[in-house]
Structures are given as C-alpha cells and as structure tokens.
Structure 1
C-alpha cells in the first residue's frame, strides 16, 4: 500500500505518471454508465414484454450518476480520495454482478441506478488533478484526465457493441467487473493518499455547496451551459443505436459501438482545449464550442440516411462538447481551491442532470418525431447553452 505524499509540481515526470493513472481511473469508471447505450436493441430482444421501457436504462443510469456526485463526490474534500475510490469500486462491482445476471428489465433498471451512483469514482480523479497541477498548468492537467474520461465514455460504446455482438450483452458487464478489479490492485499499489481540505461534518459539507452556488454566479452559468451541451450530446448517443437498427441501415450494436471510435477523436481535443483555455481564456473556447455543437446537429438533421454524414457530425459534436467541458472545469476550479470537490460536484451534478434530460427527451421524441425530431431537440438544447453563456458575457467567472 502506498503512503507516498503527492509529488511536487516541479517533479513533472511523477506528476505525468500520476495524471495518466488518474485518467485511467476516470475512463474505466465512467465507462460503466455508457455500456448500456449501444445495447438498447439487444435489451429489447431480451426483455420483449418491457421493450417500450428500454430507454429508461440510460436515463436512470445518468440520474444515478448525478445523485452519486451530489452525495458521494463532496466527500473528496473531507476524506482520503484513494480510500473513497476503492470503496466505490467494491460497491460498483456488486452492481455489475446484478446487472449481468438481471432476469428482467426492472432489475436491470435498479442495478443501472446503482451503477450510476457508484461510477462517480471519476469525479474524485478530476479535482485531484487540479489540486496537483500548478495554476499555470491546471487546464492542461484537467484536460489530460478528462481525455481519459472521454475515451472511457466513447470507447465504452465501442467495446460494449463489439462484445455484445459476439458474446451477448451480459458479457459486457462481466468484462467490466474484471477490468475494475484489476484497476483496484493498481490503485492500491500506486495511488498515494490524499490530504483532506475540510473538517466539516457530512451534512454541513453538503449544505456548503448551496453557499458556493450563491457566492459564485459564474459557477451557476458554467453549470447551466455545460448541462445544456451535455443534454444535446446525450440525446444523440442515446438514440443512435435505435436509428442504426432501423431502415435503411439495419445494423446491430457493433455498428453503434464503432461510432465511439469516431467520436474518440474528441479526446484528442481535450488537452489542446485545456492549453487554449490556459493561454487565451476559457470563454472564447466555449463560444466556439457552442457553434460547433450547433453545426453538428444541422449535419445530423440532414444525415438520417447517411453513415458518412453521421460520422462527420459525431466528430464535430464530440470536439465541441469536450472543448467546452475542459474550459468550464478549468475556470470553476479557480473559484474556491479549498472546495474543489464541492465545486466540481455542483457543476457535474447539473451536467449529468442535463445528460439525463437529454436521454429522456430522446426516448420521448424518437417514437413520435423520428430522427429529425431528435436533431431539432439537440439544436434546441444547444441554443439554451448559447443563451446561458452569452448572458454573462461581460462578467468573467473568475471575478464571481
């Protein structure tokens, strides 16, 4: 077991190794809330009596993630993050076993909620990176860990689609269990303990987040902007498998998962966006990101029968959403350094409520209005993000 203190900012090689480990933790953990998205058509086949409710699986998982961030992520300011990560891995492992063995959709929905709550391991890794890095490199450090998180989000779909195609959807969750247990061993050996920055009791720790919301208007703006963009992101990814399963494509979960490889190009933009936010300020990066997301949904609306068009749209969407995410997180971590876990919780809870809203809207819009309705809804969420961002144009977040 490692009790090594954090490496200093000057020890760049040690810092780089630690950031890579944190990126791996974030990616492997967050992947669990996205494995189910390319499996929706397979779930309809396994649970035909509840087929109309399969859209609830990704929506409930994301709501669980928001709840986990609200209830568990703030503990990173109060307790050793390493211990929290290991305890959550233990709980997540149990939830994965239940999901893999689920006899009906109701059980799977309940287990998916637990997966969402416990997969918030990733939200201990990102503020940890912000704590380790000097202020001049904070955006780059956050971008590095977020690139791991993004790869987990996108490649989860690819891995789930491939495994489900050849071994069935239950094997997806069994394989995730094995990966988590292997990662737990590495964490036990390599990850140092953290030093708590707060002595507040749990109740007061949660209540203090309300004071952060009131005290920092820029945190509210960043949270709403991020949530609207993630809603747009989620409405696309939660419906993609259903689009590809129907005419004119008639493709299985493998094809939906392979789109994750295309979207993984957005992970390459994460460190670049972090550096740009360090040099030029985050607001300009976010403005450009909103424009990119809007363009992506115009492309989607024109590409309901075109794989090539969908590929172009995915690349634009993922680059835009992730560049905005890195820039938003870089600036909110400067607001209250002693409360980074709680600031991150406020932002990410709002963010994933947006994601759950996007998935829910997608589940409603798809059967009634089809792919064009989904594209219009994604564009509407993007417009809300633009409104939230533009209305605080003259008041920078760091001055909040």
Structure 2
C-alpha cells in the first residue's frame, strides 16, 4: 500500500473527534460573525453619522475588503506557522479592532476600524484547512460541510443578534459584546485546539510566489474562485440592501426584523452538511451548477414577489442554500488538489470570494440609490448569471 500525504498528516495530528469538530464549528461561527454585525445596523449607523445609504454601505464594503486583505496576508502562513498560535494572535487583534468600531466618532473612523476588523477576522480560514488536513480523504467533504455549517450559522445569527441588540441597546453595544466574545474565544482555543506544525519550510517571498503559481497552474482553482466571487457578491448585495428595503414600503420594519431574516436563512444553511456528503459521492462541479441555479431562483422570488413577505422568506432560504452549498462544493474541490498547499489554495479562493462580496456590497448601495429594490434584484441576478456562464464554459477534469 502506498502511504499518501494525507495518511502521514493524520498519523501526526490529534484525531478529529466529534467534540473537536463541534469546537471548530462554533469558533468559526463566532469569529466570522464579526464581518456581518453591521449589515442589519447600517440604517442605524447612517442616522448616527448623518450619512446616505451608499455612504454607510461602504462600512460593509471596507469590512469585506479587509477580510480579503487579511486572508492574503495571514492565511498562507498556516502552511508554514503553528496554526493554533496564529489563530489566538488574530483573535486578540480582532478584539482591539472591534473596540475601534464601538468607539467610532465619524465615518472615516468607522471605515478604518471596519477595515481592521476584516483584516483580523481570518481565524476561520485558518481553522478550515486545519480541519481538512486532519480529516480522512473520504470524509473531507462531510467534515468541511459540518464546520461550514457552523460558520454559515454564525453569519446568519450575527444579523439576528446584531439587529436585536442594536434595536434595544444601540449598535455600539453590539461591538463591545463582540470584543468580549473574541477575547474569551482566544482563551478557549488556546486551551483546547490541537497544535498543527508546518508541513514544510518556505521563505515569505517563496510562499507568496507559490500562490501565483497555483493560480496559473490550477484551472479548477480559477473556476471555483470566480464562481465563488460572483455568488458571494450577490449574497452580500442582498443582505446589505435588505435593511433599507424593509424600512420602507410596504414593510416599515426596523433593524430587529431585518436581523430576524438571518434565522430564516438557517433553514438553507442546514443543507450544507448534506451538500458536503453529496460532493464526496458525486461530481462536485455538477453540484455547483445545481446550486447556482438555486441561487438564481432566489433572485427571481426577490424581484417578482419581493413585496410579499412569504416570497422574501422563500428567497432567503434558497439564496443561503445555493450560495453556501456552492461554497462547500467548491472548497471540497480545491482542497483535493494539492494537500500540502491547502492554506494557500484556500487563500486564493477566499480572497476572490470576499473581493466579490465587497463588490456586491458596494453595488448594493449604488443600485438602491439609483433604482431601489428592482435595481438591487437586477444587479444580483446579473452576478449569478456571470457565475453560471463561468461554470458552463470552463472545462475541467475532476
């Protein structure tokens, strides 16, 4: 029997128990939530700083740009640094960044602090390659799906919690609480997360040069990254615009109700482990195509029936299932390419993913200012169609 890199990895690492998977899932969800607290609170922030919808939508855009920058800087280090130590340092750094948002006195301050929050909220993208390394090859999709479920639930509950706390205690209180949670999480992971030693040694110039080589030589990585960028762009566009839509006709809802839509999306997110199992058994690219179609269907509900509450609810479920399921399938695809380069592969994918998200957040502000809800739906639909074209035209062997 030939001993593979995966076999060596598993023999040298602490077994990936159910408790450890649960801990990683919760940690990813808690950490990634920092990126999304602002979305249901944007209207409240706008009133605090006397800003327009487009101006406050830049808060979400800067957060996502910061996340892309942070992934490019820090996530590749997971292939050459001890991951637990790196995760703890980042959690302490994001604690300070969140305090910066909570104390912001003007738009410039909160934009810079939000950028810093994004840069330092990259611990989940270091935890994920660690989980992929520890998992057996035949279970990798299932494990990634389970941890991604925790991450997705964190994304959605972030909106619900932020809307509720922001509506009652104000948006600044939400960020003070987030800072306390990140500091506590740093202590917990320092205690229970296993160490993960680097698999090889590279200098930093060599490390980042190798990322460019991966982009040039891995067509599956390029395809998955472009599709991920467009899908997360349409996802961010919707959630950035939703609070403005719900404030007006025919709903007249506040930030609390905008946040409650995050709970609706959990129904779609619960399908992520199922998608992961299907990606293990069937062609992952075919799964991506199906999930792109589900995402497009969600925008048809938003565009044609968005003034009906039932259509918004159905659309949110479909959007979360489509976008998050496609991410699980795409990450299953790229983690199988080069096992010893999983952190760098994840860097390329997730940097693209969040650059697409920042584009969607910015376009959401413009579309709302110019054409209101129909403009938002048209713009999101176009981004999904671009993803579908990329999927259909790229020929990759898997």
What whole-Å deviation, never above 9, does each CA across 1:5-58 have from its counterpart, x for those lacking one?
A: x9759997x522111111112111110010000001101111115665111000
User: What residue number does 2:23 align with?
Assistant: 21
Shift of 1:245: 1.1
The 5 A counterparts of 1:247-258 are 247-258=249-260
CA RMSD of aligned residues (A): 1.7
Is 1:95–2:92 an aligned residue pair?
A: no
C-alpha distance in structure 2 between counterparts of 1:37 and 1:310, whole Å: 17
Gaps in structure 1 of 5+ consecutive residues = 1-5
Which of 234, 237, 240 is the aligned partner of 1:235? 237
**Which one of 263, 266, 273 corresponds to residue 261 of structure 1?**
263
Report if the CA contact (8 A) 1:63-1:113 is conserved: yes
- 2:4 paired residue number: none
Whether 2:381 is the aligned partner of 1:379: answer yes
2:41 pairs with one of 39, 58, 61: 39
Give the superposition deviation at 1:304: 3.0
Output one character per residue of 1:202-258: Cα deviation in whole Å (capped at 9) or x when no partner.
122111100001111111011101111111111101100110111221111101100
1:196 alignment partner, SS class = coil
Spell out, residue by residue over 1:91-140, the C-alpha distance to the aligned partner (whole angstroms, 9 max, x if none): 11111111111111210110000000000111001111110111101100
Cα distance, 1:157 vs. partner?
A: 0.3
Inter-partner Cα distance in structure 2 for 1:253 and 1:117 = 26
Determine which of 151, 167, 170 is the counterpart of 1:168: 170
Give runs of aligned pairs for residues 1-400 of structure 1, distance below 5 A: 15-48=17-50, 52-392=54-394, 394-396=395-397, 398=398
C-alpha spacing 1:216/1:245, structure 2 compared with 1 (3 Å): same
8 A contact 1:304–1:372 mirrored in 2? no
Distance in 2 (alpha carbons) for counterparts of 1:9 and 1:17? 19
Distance in 1, matches of 2:216 and 2:13, equals: 36
> For residues 51 and 230 of structure 1, what CA distance do their matches in structure 2 show?
20
Q: 1:355 to 1:339 in 2, by over 3 A?
A: same
User: Where does structure 1 differ by over 6 angstroms across 4 or more consecutive aligned residues?
Assistant: 9-12
Contact 1:9 1:133 in 2 (8 A): no
Aligned residue pairs total: 391
1:180 CA displacement: 1.1
- Give how far 1:305 is off: 1.7
Cα distance in structure 1, aligned partners of 2:174 and 2:183: 15
TM-score by length of 2: 0.95
8 A contact 2:162–2:259 mirrored in 1:
yes
* Cα distance in 1 between the residues matched to 2:291 and 2:346: 20
The answer (yes or no) to whether the contact 2:220–2:333 under 8 Å persists in 1 is no
